[in-house]
Amino acid sequence: MLPNFSPVIAGTMLWGEWGRKLDTYSISDLIHHCLLHGITTFDHADIYGGYTTEADFGAAFIQSGIKRADIQLITKCGIKLITPNRDNRVAHYDYTKDHIIKSCERSLANLKTEYLDLFLLHRPSPLMDAAEIVEAITLLKDQGKILSFGLSNFTPSQSDLIRQHTPVSYNQIEFSLTHHMPMTDGSLDYMKLHGIRPMAWAPLGVVFKESTPQTGRIKKVLQSFNKKYGSDDDTLLLNWIMRHPSKIIPVAGTADKNRISRLKLADTFVMDQEDWFELWEASMGQKVP
């Protein structure tokens, strides 16, 4: 049985050293704020904050007094960065059995938990041995340290390498209105065909980060829809993603309380089909083919 994740997941990458540099009290307060607004699932990776954000979150989680059963924790392993607290000579990927197990156990200690709701391989490696990976994952599952297993940024063929040895429940990929190629290159079709639930990182795309003809067209259409749906731009962009039949779960990487307060609203309405296509058309800059 798969974990019951919230409709929108809170991404923690920018909560620590790589972003807002929140202290323990502020992270604890933000976790409470997420729960208050229906966001119960938190997405991590061992590398976030230069290998510091998991531990920052774990300390805040203990301080929060929240029951472990009331939240879901996701993390990833496999990327080895060059940082002061690691002795890597070059940035690389490591999916040896020993590294996967040690990474999981380190994440458990950092997050102050006995189990992970979902454990992901962060990015595919040319040197990964699927059979060795599955040895590690099977052991971690048997020990109750991970409840479900998935991938991140894996193509269909790379997913097949793993799936030949063990079921894959999730794949976390980049997907948004400004990065919608997985919808037409077969990636989302593949996941739906094989029962893999997609998660989307950077779900708002570059709509608020770049000023381009594409983002200008999108903003114009979003503005025309705000009154119709009683919504805002953020919510409409997430709803556009969630309208896809593969049941994509957005991972929203914000530490802004106002934005977090609105995230759950993305799951409260269904965008009209023609409106959905109008936004896609605005992103492409041409009529739907």
Which residues have a catalytic role annotated?
A: 48
72 token code pair: 């879901």
Helices of type H across the chain: 24-36, 48-51, 53-64, 97-111, 130-142, 156-163, 187-193, 213-229, 233-242, 257-263, 273-284
Q: Which two tokens stand for residue 178?
A: 């400004």
DSSP class of residue 188 equals: H
Spatial contact of 34 and 40, defined as CB atoms under 8 Å apart: yes
**Would you state the structure tokens that stand for residue 252, as one six-digit string?**
């929203």
Residues facing residue 119 across a β-bridge:
75, 149
Residue 73's contacts (CB-CB under 8 Å, 6 or more residues apart) are: 41, 42, 44, 111, 113, 116, 117, 118
Distance CA 277, CA 30 (A): 35
